[in-house]
Amino acid sequence: MSLHRPIVLDFLETSKKKMSPTKKKKMSQGLTSLQGGSNKVFIQRDYSEGTSVKFHTRLPSELEGLIERQVFESTINRLNEFFAEAEKGSCSTYCEGCIGCITAYLVYMCSETHYEKTLRKISKFIASQNERVYNPKGLQVIDPTYRGLRVIEISVLDRPGRT
């Protein structure tokens, strides 16, 4: 399986390249309209409380009608809570940092940090939310970790329904 994987990737890549003009056409046709351009929506970071990771909870206009406001806001709020927990300076995290510092950060090679554990939780949470809430509505939330914690990417799938 693992041997075959790269080849498959490669085929996909080339086929995508060939398909890209049509995709681009689709994108460019919708350029003038707000909805067009791309079927992805990006939730930006909210810096009102400093540089800690926090996302805007306002429902973007592109998603109106696709998902209930409360559902969306609760998801983002939950994510924000997770990130706040990850970045919170509690006693245990400081101890962790101190221990790492004393051991010249060799301890990080052996164990996961609190932050990494939380990120794992977040991706689990997003996966479950996708499965239960977003995919049935034709949406797909992408883990902000994959986007450098800059944005939450929500892609509007072409045909609504279970995937």
Partner 1 sequence: MNLLCCCCGNMAPNTRITRKWELFAGRNKFYCDGLLMSAPHTGVFYLTCILITGTSALFFAFDCPFLATRINPIIPIVGAVLYFFTMSSLLRTTFTDPGVIPRASHDEAAYIEKQIEVPNSLNSPTYRPPPRTKEVLVKGQTVKLKYCFTCKIFRPPRASHCSLCDNCVDRFDHHCPWVGNCVGKRNYRFFYLFLVSLAFLAVFIFSCSVTHLVLLMKAEQEIFEVIKKAPFTVIVVFICFFSIWSVIGLAGFHTYLTTSDQTTNEDLKGSFSSKGGQRSINPYSRGNICLNCCHILCGPMTPSLIDRRGIATDDYILQMQQHSSPRHPLSDVMSASHVGSSGMVTAQPVIAGVSTGINVGGNDIKNRLYEESNASSATLGASNGIYRPRSYDNLQNAPELIQPLLDDGNSNSLAHLVDNEIPLSQMDVPQTQTAQMQRQFRHHKDRVQTSSSDSNNIINTFDSNECNPDDVIEIVGKSEVVVAVAAIAATSQARERQNRSDSYNNLFYSDSGPANAKSNTLPSSVSAIESFDKESPDLPQENNAVNLSASVDMKDSGDLPEQTESTNEKQKSNLLKPISQIENVYSNVLQSGAPCAKHVDSNPSLHVYSNLMDEQKQHELTLQMNKQYKQLAQKNITSAGVMLSSALLNDDLDLDDPVSASFVAQENVDSSFLSANGKVCDSSMSGLNRLRMLNNTTMINTALDLDSLDGSSLGNNSQSCLVKEAPPLS
Interface ranges with partner 1 (CB under 8 A): 5-7, 9-14, 16-17, 20-22, 24-25, 27-29, 31-32, 34, 37-38, 40-42, 45, 47-51, 86-89, 93-98, 100-101, 104-106, 113-116, 119, 145-151, 153
User: Which is nearer to partner 1, 31 or 110 (by Cβ)?
Assistant: 31
Instruction: Say how far apart CA 93 and CA 32 lie, in whole Å.
Output: 49
Please give the sequence-ordered ranges of beta strands (E in DSSP) within 22-150, or none if there are none.
40-43, 139-142
Number of neighbours of residue 31 by Cβ within 10 angstroms:
8
Smallest distance, Å, CB 7 to partner 1?
5
Instruction: Say how far apart CA 50 and CA 31 lie, in whole Å.
Output: 34
User: Which is nearer to partner 1, 74 or 100 (by Cβ)?
Assistant: 100
Smallest distance, Å, CB 86 to partner 1?
6
Smallest distance, Å, CB 160 to partner 1?
20
Instruction: Say how far apart CA 107 and CA 86 lie, in whole Å.
Output: 19
Cβ contact 111:118 at 8 Å: no
